[in-house]
Amino acid sequence: MPHLTPEQEREIDALRAESVATRRATVPALEEILYQAIPLLDHGFIRVIDYMGDDGAVVQAARVSYGRGTRHARDDAGLINYLIRHRHTTPFEMCEIKYHCKLPIFVARQWIRHRTANVNEYSARYSILDNEFYVPAPQHLAAQAADNRQGRGAVLGGAEAARVLDLLRADATRAYDDYLDLMNQDATGEVRDPGRQGLARELARMNLSLNFYTQWYWKIDLHNLLHFISLRADAHAQHEIRVYARALLETVRRWAPLTCAAFEEQRLNGAHLSASALAVVRRLLAGEAVVPETSGLGKREWRELMTLLSRLG
């Protein structure tokens, strides 16, 4: 099933064909993909709809200068790196971006927990949801991890995987059929049986399952977007939201490349060490043979520290 209808694609093409003059800071690399849907999962996407500011706006805010910031990329990169390293976050709040996202409801429920953003969601009180639901690709049908209540374990084998996929598809299909039946409407809103009234939309929607797709406009500033990405692109995040977080990161790379590079260097690929972990590192550097029992760390923290220190560059 396609991610966009032909009508939606025509509308996007029409928007992309228009171009007007502006005095605002403009980012050609982002303009290039403006309005375009980046397909994610089986029916989802994100699209950049609008943006304000760029790396220069971060620099400008940091300097509270009158112009658009110095044009010397080297200085700007150094300043931006410094700002991220020392947690001077407010200059990054001076840039804003707006996305149109289509995502499964259970992903939307995690996503919405980030409160420092603006959201307008498609309303199933007013409108009928499309018959689109998420079914994981076979390679993402993970079993429950045995040693960790949160994570995923091995991928399910062929027979069990097939059974799981059958169940998910069958239940979602039935849920949608009955959703329409409850409303006594078809997916375009046409009444089916004139002899029945049909349940109100705001009630019928409760029959849909959490893998159905919803969509929203989502607007956020650059600082909070990076914070969202740092939490949701993390290895501990659920695969389905991580897919979105990584796609968001790629749009940041186009939009504010200096900020994106500093963020990856300082935050995404950096690590926070506790006081005890720092002490262990110091002892190791001094040539001491530290073992878990003398490290002052819990088992889990010890394991995480060792992984971190042995990771290839």
Applying CB under 8 A, which of residues 55, 79, 211, 244 lies at the interface with a copy of itself? 211
| Distance between CA atoms of residues 82 and 255, nearest Å | 19
**H/E stretch holding 231:** helix 222-232
| Distance between CA atoms of residues 304 and 311, nearest Å | 11
Which of positions 213-252 make contact with a copy of itself (CB under 8 A)? 215-217, 219, 221, 231, 236, 238
Residue 29 is classified by DSSP as: H
Q: Is 103 in the site for a copy of itself (CB under 8 A)?
A: no
Closest residue by Cα to residue 116 from 210, 226, 233: 226
Applying CB under 8 A, which of residues 112, 137, 162, 187 lies at the interface with a copy of itself? 112
Read off the tokens for 79: 């300043």
CB 47 within 8 A of CB 36: yes
**What's the closest the beta carbon of residue 247 comes to a copy of itself, in angstroms?**
19
The yes-or-no answer on residue 311 being catalytic is: no
Which of positions 19-58 make contact with a copy of itself (CB under 8 A)? 19-26, 31, 34-35, 50-53, 57
Applying CB under 8 A, which of residues 205, 232, 233, 252 lies at the interface with a copy of itself? 205
Applying CB under 8 A, which of residues 141, 247, 248, 290 lies at the interface with a copy of itself? 141
Q: Is 253 in the site for a copy of itself (CB under 8 A)?
A: no
CB 246 within 8 A of CB 263: no
| Distance between CA atoms of residues 84 and 222, nearest Å | 12
Which of positions 116-135 make contact with a copy of itself (CB under 8 A)? 116, 118-123, 125-126, 134
Applying CB under 8 A, which of residues 71, 138, 153, 162 lies at the interface with a copy of itself? 153
Which of positions 56-75 make contact with a copy of itself (CB under 8 A)? 57, 60-62, 64, 66-68
Applying CB under 8 A, which of residues 256, 260, 277, 290 lies at the interface with a copy of itself? 277
Residue type, position 291, single letter = V
Positive or negative, the Cα torsion across 127, 128, 129, 130? negative
| Distance between CA atoms of residues 47 and 260, nearest Å | 18
Q: Which is nearer to a copy of itself, 91 or 248 (CB)?
A: 91
Q: Is 313 in the site for a copy of itself (CB under 8 A)?
A: yes
Closest residue by Cα to residue 102 from 129, 141, 142: 129
**What's the closest the beta carbon of residue 251 comes to a copy of itself, in angstroms?**
15
| Distance between CA atoms of residues 219 and 51, nearest Å | 9
**What's the closest the beta carbon of residue 107 comes to a copy of itself, in angstroms?**
9
**What's the closest the beta carbon of residue 36 comes to a copy of itself, in angstroms?**
10
Read off the tokens for 39: 């397909």
Stretch that binds a copy of itself, among 38-46, 88-96, 244-252 (CB under 8 A): 88-96
